[in-house]
Amino acid sequence: MTELIRVEDLRVVACGERGEVEIVKGVSFALEQGQVLALIGESGSGKTTIALALLGYARRGCRLSGGVVRVGEHDMLAVSESQLQKLRGNRVSYIAQSAAAAFNPAKKLIDQVVEGALIHGLGSRVELEAKAVDLFRDLSLPNPESIGQRYPHQVSGGQLQRVMAAMALISDPLLVVLDEPTTALDVTTQIDVLRAFKRVVRERGATAVYVSHDLAVVAQMADRIVVLNDGQILEQSDTAPLLAAPAHDYTRSLLAAARPDATIRPPSGIAENTPLLTINGLTAGYGNKNAQGMPLIRVLEGIDLTVRRGQAIGVIGESGSGKSTLARVVAGLLTPALGGLTFDGQPLGGRLSERTPEQFRRIQMVFQNADTALNPMHSVGAIIGRPLKMYFGLKGAALRERTHELLDLVRLPHALAERRPSELSGGQKQRVNLARALAAKPDLILCDEVTSALDTVVGAAILELLRDLRQQLGVSYLFISHDISTVRALCDDIVVMYSGHKVQAGSRESFATPPFHPYTDLLIHSVPELRQGWLETCGATSGTLPPVGARAAVPELCTFLNLCPVRIDGVCNRIAPPRHSLDNGGEMLCHHDGAQLIKTQRGLVVETSGAYA
């Protein structure tokens, strides 16, 4: 094969008040035409900086200080800026992590997809729009002939990510750089996007560099893997031998972090029998209310849930399932339309004005994105100190001592108290976020996707910290996530939500083997496995969806009906599903009983190489 990419002794420096610091330290690798190379490592390893260097670009505050970056016949570090402008978006394309931030909200999708190709003079508008529609079709976008007439906010996150891929591929580039393109997506959406990317890259013979922190995802996409840490290559190899026998300890840590439930176990004997939080018949939503006092947009329907003292309950589901809305109701940020909440035997008001200062203190929330949750103008000490002043009146030496104790709890050095959030890594910021919640000495912490914005190694460390804090302090967690592996690593019990309904609930152990609600089964099969070829076989057990007739006018019908591979015509589309108990102690919202589902799911345990282990 023909060598297309060659990087030799690439060096990049960061320029700051203290001078220049080298952040990419003599990196070298090569890539042949038609291959996919993965750059993998945790945050700060230099993988995105190296990927951007392939476009001859360095982020603000950085400088490409040395080496050779050859793409085809072009040395991207030696050509002029005007030549780079002709190459970017033409010979070299880029797919960013956040498609939502990359699109102009005021322009139609089709106009943005063809804009770069028009600027480079690669065809007429008619020709390029026809090519864009072909790409939409290849990328499995719905209604490929008309989806381009929509605006970015009118399509889902997964669809927008595929539209961005069409924008990158429309110029038939020599190289496509994919920078964490599925990190922000739900696991089920991620599969669809990965399949579309892989098929189009293979069919069009594109050469790609895929940036990721997740080895399980990379295993599905890459022919070769380069493992990075602190701006240096620790290991590089073809994918299969690297997964089978990694040579470096750091690579082995990445493999372990890809499945936290295989290495982390929740502590036993912590949970008591005393209920701490009880939710009965909760219905909540947004928008104006009708004559019956119900919100126009219902997000939660009839939720019952009990969290015991010292217990960790995981709530999983895709975006829009209602899991974050549930946390907002418990936190008092959203008033329920129906139902009631009880906290430690006392009514818990739906409005903040109906809660006591003690209830405020005892329920704390750790938000998903520490970057927006921490005030960038305040020091770490001031951020942690605020609840200490508000709830306990601490000041002076007592305040400093307690701040240092909290930093010790979350395993951060005392010196960080003087720094601001912008000076911390992602994992450090999330630890500060957690320390602020712990400062109030809460009984219940609401953890809303606290590891989803972190790389796998740092995320696994945060999970271990949460587990140890629970054992040490006896605090309860309502832990919200879209990843069942993460939830099984930390929680005693699991609740699965879909479209505002609790479709399955049970102990962590009950989620080890069937029966599963069909949606739970989909979630379990959507967690990437550390083996090549998984992407081509996952979800294949569903087959063609069985036909189903028109729905009856029953508003409580199963919300998963349109996607369910075991739906029953004349039943699922006519009658609301019952909630029944399972032999393993769990419960399920489905017309099928446990025995029926076991017949269809039992054989999958063997076929999926430990997906349920």
* Whole-number pLDDT of residue 402: 97
* Whole-number pLDDT of residue 274: 95
Residue-by-residue DSSP string for 210-267: EEES-HHHHHHH-SEEEEEETTEEEEEEEHHHHHHS-SSHHHHHHHHHT-GGGT--PP
H-state helical runs in 332-414: 357-362, 370-373, 380-392, 396-409
CATH superfamily, domain 275-504, is P-loop containing nucleotide triphosphate hydrolases (3.40.50.300)
DSSP conformational letter for 578:
P
What topology does CATH give the domain 34-59+74-227+237-258?
Answer: Rossmann fold (3.40.50)
* Whole-number pLDDT of residue 1: 64
pLDDT averages per 10-residue partition of the chain, 613 residues: 91 84 95 95 90 94 94 94 94 88 93 96 96 92 94 88 93 93 82 88 90 90 95 96 94 85 85 96 86 79 96 93 94 93 96 93 92 92 97 96 97 94 88 96 95 84 94 96 90 96 96 92 88 80 75 88 91 93 93 80 44 32
Question: What are the pLDDT digits (tens) for 367-390?
Answer: 888 888 999 999 999 999 999 999
- CB-hemisphere CA count at 13 Å for 550? 2
**pTM confidence score:** 0.86
- Edge-to-edge strand list for the sheet holding 275-289: 295-308, 275-289, 338-343, 346-347
Provide CATH 3.40.50.300 ranges for the chain. 34-59+74-227+237-258, 275-504
